[in-house]
Amino acid sequence: MKQKKIWMTYLTIGISLIMIVSCRKTVGYLLSLNHNYVNQTNQDLTMEIYNQHDELFKSFTIENGDTINTHNTRGEGPELFHIEYQDGDSVIVKFADDKCLTYTDNLDNPNNKIFNIDDYDNFDTRLIEPGVRYNLYYTFTEEDYNLAVDCE
């Protein structure tokens, strides 16, 4: 009878240790990512984010030369434009002189670079490593402004 009690104690301790180690590994794969957007276009701009129903759910004004943080991601991977429990499906950048750029989360669209993490200024494969804290930057340049067309 005494032998069964000792065995049960060791079994309980072993299971507890396995659970603690498993929980630590799960938490270890979380990252903390700040999404930053920089305006280097020589124009003030407004970045509008729309969901899959074409509803505007978030808007950010970025003055020329400024940087803003749109949101932070905490999870297993970067989530571009997942803000306040909504997913951005398109982004319209409106410049102060009524010119616009439209980006969509569509692989067939060649103008989707804001939705492609590889096109961000400082993307690094470290983003998929455990426990990373990272500031991700995307810069709007004069080149982007030159691609803009009159807003509809």
Residue 36, Cα to own-chain centre: how many angstroms?
9
Please state, as a whole number, how many other Cβ atoms lie within 10 Å of the Cβ of residue 3: 7
H-only helix segments in 61-105: none
Nearest to 86 by CA among 50, 128, 35, 123: 50
Nearest to 54 by CA among 90, 81, 83, 85: 90
Kindly report the pTM of this predicted structure: 0.74
User: How does DSSP classify residue 148?
Assistant: -
**pLDDT in the model for residue 7:** 63
Q: Is the pLDDT confidence value at 3 over 80? A: no
Q: Which residue has the higher pLDDT, 135 or 130?
A: 135
**pLDDT in the model for residue 29:** 47
Q: Find out whether 103 and 114 touch, Cβ atoms under 8 Å.
A: yes
Task: List b or e across 64-83, with b for residues whose CB sees 16 or more CB atoms inside 10 angstroms.
Answer: eeeeeebbebeeeebbbbeb
